[in-house]
Amino acid sequence: MRSFVLLSLLVGLAAAAAEFQLDQEGLEWLQVIGEGWAAPLDGFMNEEQYLTCLHYQHIVTSGGKMVPMAVPIVLPLDTATKSALEKESIVTLLSPKGEKIAKLSGLTFFEHRREERATRTFGIGADPQHPYIEKIMAGGEWLMGGKVEMLVDRIKFNDGMDQWRLTPAELRLKFTGMAADAVFVFQLRNPVHNGHALLMQDTGSKLKEQGFKKPVLWLSPLGGWTKDDDVPLDTRMAQHHAIIKNGVFGDIDVVLAIFPSPMLYAGPREVQWHASARVQGGATHYIVGRDPAGMKHPTKNALQPALGDDLYHQWHGQSMLKLNPILMKQLTLLPFHFASYDKVAGKMAFFDPKRKDDFVSISGTKMRKMAKDGEEPPPGFMDPEGWKVVSNFYKGVKVEL
């Protein structure tokens, strides 16, 4: 996926400039690092950072402080590329299109122990049926660490969505400009239905009841790589834009901005990454539901069928946020209330166990299936313009942004 070009053409006394071309995932991680989402990490991980991340889900500052950093941010390369680059002190990173995009300095090279990375990160065997483990196992034998210095003002994708790409510093400025005294994040990688909107409205009201004057909802869709059967980013952004425009969040102020990270599907480990990165952008409150960043077990828990089909325990994601003593000094965790389709009321409503037969659950999978099959969801499930965006995607209609 990656290749290198060694420019041996010497101009006067200028040294040869080694180059390394990033693939799309590498570019996404570069954006994550360059924009400061992973601060204080300021480059692709060296071995010490990688090891503490893998073992502790934190990195350690030079002062000996643990800082949350739950997922490895690394640059794999093959042996031939490593041999060519290891004499260099600086490498120029190229985008997949060949643009010089950043410098990497203070280079270090260390073993990419892929099985160990996969098993410690995901808590399952190194099974390439897990889509991110597939990527890990296909990576080179080595990892290259180094400090990132951006050569471009910002990474642009020219895909009609750059207006929603704000850096953590820009987001903080924006929230300050809005006089926000609480910023509550909703991380998502699915279209937003009216159950989500109800929860967000309710959360905003509760924050006001707690005394906050100006709670702001930061709708923060994940913008990097996702697995093939997820709804693509452009469809999701068009859907989010439509529903905000149509007022589904009521009188709560909303900021819509893309989180540039790739998705890992690493459950209780990844939810901590999702939260710590948003702290950089000014988040003060975080909402987490059941099984965040989860997926089905690739072999349906064949080793222990009694655990069911899910890869992770549905509440371990929330537990790991609650149990992280450093994150919990930075963020307040907000309760998640499950909203479902209330057949009697004809709208999404908080689930009421006393009349549970009145409710129908419409999961993300079920929603995608309905859209694929050209079925209409019950009225009140989703803002109609938002639904049209989703269903158009499955009809092959080009998204308008």
Please give the Cα distance from 64 to 84 (Å, whole number): 34
Residue 137, interface with its own copies (CB under 8 A)? yes
Residue of 115, 159, 352, 376 interacting with its own copies (CB under 8 A) = 115
Q: Which stretch binds its own copies (CB under 8 A): 37-45, 286-294, 302-310, 345-353?
A: 302-310
Is 303 a binding residue for its own copies by CB under 8 A? The answer is: yes
- If one asks whether residue 58 binds its own copies (CB under 8 A), the answer comes out as yes
How many Cβ atoms sit within 10 Å of the Cβ of residue 362? 18
Looking at residues 263 to 292 of the shown chain, list those that interact with its own copies (rule: CB under 8 A). 268-269
Using CB under 8 A, count the residues that bind its own copies: 41
Binding mask 223-252 for its own copies (x = CB under 8 A): ------------------------------
Minimum distance, C-beta of residue 79 to its own copies, in the bound complex (Å): 8
Asked whether 59 and 52 are in contact (CB, 8 A), the reply is yes
Which of 99/141 has CB closer to its own copies? 141
* Site string (313-342) toward its own copies, x via CB under 8 A: x--x--xx--x-x--xx-------------
Answer yes or no whether residue 41 interacts with its own copies by CB under 8 A: no
Using rule CB under 8 A, residue 64 touches its own copies: yes
Near its own copies by CB under 8 A: residue from 10, 56, 290, 379: 56
Please tell me whether residue 306 binds its own copies under the rule CB under 8 A. yes
Q: Does 138 bind its own copies (CB under 8 A)?
A: no
User: Is 82 one of the binding residues for its own copies (CB under 8 A)?
Assistant: no
Q: Which of 96, 99, 103, 120 forms a contact with its own copies (CB under 8 A)?
A: 120
86 near its own copies, rule: CB under 8 A? no
Q: Contact positions toward its own copies, by CB under 8 A?
A: 47-48, 51-52, 55-58, 60, 64-66, 111, 113-116, 119-120, 122-126, 137, 141, 268-269, 301, 303-304, 306-307, 313, 316, 319-320, 323, 325, 328-329
